[in-house]
Amino acid sequence: MRYRIAFTARSASELEKLPRHIQKRIARWLMLLGDDPRREGTKKLEGHSRLRRVHAGKDYIIVYAVRDEEVLVLIVRVSHRKDVYGGL
């Protein structure tokens, strides 16, 4: 079963501001998360029961929620590792 990918307004804005080569790297990860949102390399965020994260390269992180009942991966943040956890 393939999960649908959706973005919050904030994550969509963050993604649009990134350089194209970073956007392409993140797009590859989004395809993989659609196939298996709990794949190897992803981790649960401490203190956030529904949030997970994956590193898209060494400097950028995708934070997302898996909504199995909707077959949905909701992208919450897409940002540099130094900025990504603020405001979660």
- Long-range (24+ apart) CB contacts under 8 A made by 22-29 are 22/56, 22/57, 22/60, 25/56, 25/57, 25/60, 26/56, 26/60, 26/62, 26/78, 28/56, 29/54, 29/56, 29/62
Residue 84: is its pLDDT beyond 90? no
Mean pLDDT of 14-20: 96
pLDDT band at 71 (very low <50, low <70, confident <90, very high): very high
Which residue's entry shows tokens 């392409």? 24
Kindly give, in sequence order, each residue whose CB lies less than 8 Å from that of residue 31, ignoring residues fewer than 6 positions away. none
Q: What is the mean pLDDT of residues 24-41?
A: 95
pLDDT surpassing 80 at residue 27:
yes
With cut-offs at 50, 70 and 90, classify the pLDDT of residue 3.
Answer: very high
Provide the pLDDT for residue 53. Answer: 96
* pLDDT number for residue 1: 85
Show the domains of the chain with their CATH numbers. Answer: 4-80 (3.30.2310.20)
